[in-house]
Amino acid sequence: MKRIITVLTLIIVSLIFSLCGKDFLEYTPKGTISGEQLNTPERLDGMVTAAYAYLGADMWNLAHSHMWVYGGVRAEDEFKGGGSVTDQFQYHQFEVFSLITVDQSRINQLWEAIYNGVARANEALRRMEEVSDTEYPEKAERMAEARFIRGHFHFVAKRIWKYIPYIDHTIPEAEIKLVDNRQ
């Protein structure tokens, strides 16, 4: 009986491996775009639009388009509100200038959100450099717009943290971690 089960198992496993061909395992999933497909004028316009869209893609708890917490609350021009001190405790710490004990999760999330905006602008700039001016007549204008968006995000980061790394689109992705924040 053991021998029959072993033989049947081997036959089933060999059938499974013989049916799994290269064509079956290598396919492009629906809804994905390759790098070559992004380097068309229509898609490049879409990438600049995506960078613009990130300007207003913040919420009250990760506000990079308005400086409610990092400006108004810290300057005592506004109050955090809420039902008690424990309601949005991180912002209460800003309000009472107890920054040593602040839960840093919101600050880290804001840093990530701002540099996601920088990354969107940089990716659009990187891809636009690969397209010729004749193929993409609006290239100079769109590159200027992407540089402006990147500059806006760097400016917001500068207002909050003072010393920030300037991430340019010419910096390779592997070297971004090595960029100094005092240059």
Read off the pLDDT of residues 109-131 as tens digits, 9 standing for 90 and up: 888 889 999 999 999 999 999 88
Is 7 within the bounds of a domain?
no
How much is the pTM? 0.74
At residue 33, does pLDDT exceed 60? yes
Range of the domain at 124: 38-178
With the C-alpha atoms ordered 15, 18, 23, 29, is the resulting torsion angle positive or negative? positive
Q: List, for residues 132-172, the tens digit of each pLDDT value.
A: 889 999 999 999 999 999 999 999 999 888 899 999 999 88
Three-state DSSP class for residue 35? helix
Q: Is residue 129 part of a domain?
A: yes
Q: How many domains does the chain have?
A: 1
